[in-house]
Chains A and B, each alone.
Chain A
Amino acid sequence: MAEPAKPEVTEEAKMDLLEDDDEFEEFEIDQEWDDKEEGNEALQQWEDDWDDDDVNDDFSLQLRKELESNAPKN
């Protein structure tokens, strides 16, 4: 068997493979907080009415140009 010359390096490489970024971080075992207050500003930062009829954005203007320039004559 090969001598494990630098075990730290190997172990760290393996640890990376076993890391799970999506694992929920532990709250302290006795941690409690008041969740009555209107807490996280993240709750307010959503739009469900974003679907406008505006066609003056860059993308639409380019799309229009494209469709007009290639339009077959009829």
Chain B
Amino acid sequence: MAAYLSMGEAHRRIGDYLSRVTNAISYSDGAALASLLSVSSAPASTPLSDALAAFPDFPRLAGDRFPHLADFLVPLLRAIHSHSVQRFADAYSSFEKASSAFLQEFRNWETPWAMEAMHTVALEIRLIAEKADRELATNGKNPDKLQAAGSFLMKVFGTLAVKGPKRIGALYVTCQLFKIYFRLGTVNLCRSVIRSIETARNFDFEDFPVKDKVTYMYYTGRLEVFNENFLVADQKLTYALMHCNSQSESNLRRILKFLIPVKLSIGVLPKRTLLERYNLLEYADVVTALKRGDLRLLRQALDRHEDQFLKSGVYLVLEKLELQVYQRLVKKIHNIQRQKEPAKAHQIKLDVVVRALKWLEIDMDVDEVECIMACLIYKNLIKGYFAHKSKVLVLSKQDPFPKLNGKPV
């Protein structure tokens, strides 16, 4: 509980905060303004929040002193107060009002001096909305604030993503929107912002700040993984990896978490040291399975980490690696035969494959194996043909197991 605060002292502190906000606006000091708007990271008790608790008439104080900014300042103080007493849904509603008023002012300022403050508002509204939704869900109410924050940020995006000096701030807001849409599971809403970013004629993507480009490429890369566009996913996630701050271990790990399955699907394997370095050992057995042609190990690895892979949305990508593992297994059989009987090595009896699979605890009959081999041939993972009657796969003498060379299966 806050120590006793005299009315006079409370009045002074609130007045001081309001002056700092209005001074930052008068002097076009974006950084100072931004730091005054960080509502959600404040500790439960601050000199200002104690003063707001001790002086309930603070809205009138703000309205009387700065009538021209009352639409912004009054709800801002309310948001700070509600947040400090952990009434997050109330804090959200007030902060959204303050944000709308701020956006109105921001539109009228010709230069982008207040971009940092606008970005702080964009971040804060998302963070406060998340807290509000948790509170609402806990109380059995409909958690709809994050969605509302998304609608507000679309307005901010609309203000920024136009020709002119403010456009450089649009990508940051895009990234906040991505975070909301991924959290809410409404990733299809990303499409219109992406189109607006990528079709801009007067603005080069490379001119955006690097931190926003990295975040953008991480999210659009993940979208491409969901859409199974592995080549584009590879480009975007590799871009994110290349440009990410090398100090940011946790973000590098997140990028790799998606880049690894993408690379695997185009036949490129991460080294063991990479998996260890970023604690991504859930992929270690998958990699070993690919190297060996060990279908059992692949299935075990998918089984063991099923929840995790499903949650990140990479399960289906990894499941599709099975064809590559089959290819590898047939190649192993071919190599073993070649050592023993080089003349007949290019003839693989399906029966032999059935036995190898049985050894790996996978029960399949000759017809099923034939079906899989047909698929491998169709996907150009094996070059050869069937002697259907004698149940033999005849491998091409030239390059019977084409490499993917960075192409998806």
List the 3 closest A-B pairs by CB distance, nearest first. A45-B274, A27-B211, A59-B292
Residues of B within 8 A of A39 (CB): 242-244, 246
Assess whether B211 is in contact with A31, with CB atoms less than 8 Å apart.
Answer: yes
Docked complex Cα distance between A27 and B352 (Å): 55
Residues of A within 8 A of B256 (CB): 42
Assess whether A11 is in contact with B138, with CB atoms less than 8 Å apart.
Answer: yes
Interface string of A8-37 (1 = CB under 8 A from B): 001100110010111111110111110100
In the complex, the chain B residue whose C-beta lies closest to that of A64 is B336
Contact A18 B134, CB 8 Å, known A27-B248, A30-B31, A48-B267? yes
Given contacts A18-B133, A35-B210, A51-B331, 4 further A-B contacts (CB under 8 A): A39-B243, A42-B256, A46-B271, A63-B333
Interface residues of B (CB under 8 A from A): 31, 34, 116, 119-120, 123, 130, 133-135, 137-138, 175, 179, 182-183, 209-211, 214-215, 218-219, 222, 238, 241-248, 250-252, 254, 256-257, 263, 267-271, 273-274, 277-278, 291-294, 311-312, 328, 331-333, 335-336, 339, 351-352, 355-356, 359, 401, 403, 405-406
Assess whether B218 is in contact with A40, with CB atoms less than 8 Å apart.
Answer: no
Assess whether A42 is in contact with B241, with CB atoms less than 8 Å apart.
Answer: yes
Contact A14 B254, CB 8 Å, known A47-B271, A63-B359, A66-B359? no
Contact A31 B270, CB 8 Å, known A42-B252, A63-B359, A64-B336? no
A5 on interface, CB distance cutoff 8 Å: no
Assess whether A42 is in contact with B34, with CB atoms less than 8 Å apart.
Answer: no
Assess whether A46 is in contact with B269, with CB atoms less than 8 Å apart.
Answer: yes
Docked complex Cα distance between A57 and B238 (Å): 32
Question: How far does the Cβ of B353 sit from chain A's closest Cβ, in whole Å?
Answer: 10
Docked complex Cα distance between A47 and B339 (Å): 26
Residues of A within 8 A of B401 (CB): 51
Assess whether B210 is in contact with A45, with CB atoms less than 8 Å apart.
Answer: no
Assess whether A60 is in contact with B335, with CB atoms less than 8 Å apart.
Answer: yes
Interface residues of A (CB under 8 A from B): 7, 10-11, 14-15, 18, 20-27, 29-33, 35, 39-43, 45-48, 50-51, 53, 55, 57, 59-60, 62-64, 66-67, 70, 72
Docked complex Cα distance between A67 and B355 (Å): 7
Question: How far does the Cβ of A64 sit from chain B's closest Cβ, in whole Å?
Answer: 5
In the complex, the chain A residue whose C-beta lies closest to that of B288 is A59
Docked complex Cα distance between A11 and B256 (Å): 31
Residues of A within 8 A of B243 (CB): 35, 39
Docked complex Cα distance between A37 and B120 (Å): 29
Partner of B274, one of A22, A32, A42, A48: A42
Residues of B within 8 A of A60 (CB): 292, 332, 335-336
Assess whether A45 is in contact with B218, with CB atoms less than 8 Å apart.
Answer: no
Assess whether B183 is in contact with A47, with CB atoms less than 8 Å apart.
Answer: no
Docked complex Cα distance between A42 and B253 (Å): 10
Contact A24 B138, CB 8 Å, known A47-B271, A63-B359? no
Q: Can you list 29 residue pairs at the A/B interface with Cβ under 8 Å?
A: A11-B138, A14-B137, A18-B130, A18-B134, A20-B183, A22-B222, A23-B182, A23-B183, A24-B218, A24-B254, A26-B123, A29-B34, A29-B123, A30-B31, A30-B116, A32-B209, A40-B242, A40-B252, A42-B277, A45-B273, A47-B271, A51-B267, A59-B292, A60-B335, A63-B336, A63-B356, A63-B359, A67-B333, A72-B351
Residues of B within 8 A of A63 (CB): 332-333, 336, 356, 359
In the complex, the chain A residue whose C-beta lies closest to that of B245 is A33
In the complex, the chain A residue whose C-beta lies closest to that of B403 is A51
Assess whether B138 is in contact with A32, with CB atoms less than 8 Å apart.
Answer: no
Question: How far does the Cβ of A32 sit from chain B's closest Cβ, in whole Å?
Answer: 6
Docked complex Cα distance between A33 and B213 (Å): 12
Residues of A within 8 A of B271 (CB): 45-47
Docked complex Cα distance between A21 and B182 (Å): 11
In the complex, the chain A residue whose C-beta lies closest to that of B131 is A15
Question: How far does the Cβ of A74 sit from chain B's closest Cβ, in whole Å?
Answer: 10
Partner of A40, one of B244, B263, B352, B403: B244
In the complex, the chain B residue whose C-beta lies closest to that of A10 is B138
Assess whether B215 is in contact with A27, with CB atoms less than 8 Å apart.
Answer: yes
In the complex, the chain A residue whose C-beta lies closest to that of B117 is A29
Residues of A within 8 A of B241 (CB): 40, 42-43
Residues of B within 8 A of A72 (CB): 351
Assess whether B333 is in contact with A29, with CB atoms less than 8 Å apart.
Answer: no
Question: How far does the Cβ of A30 sit from chain B's closest Cβ, in whole Å?
Answer: 7
Residues of A within 8 A of B119 (CB): 29
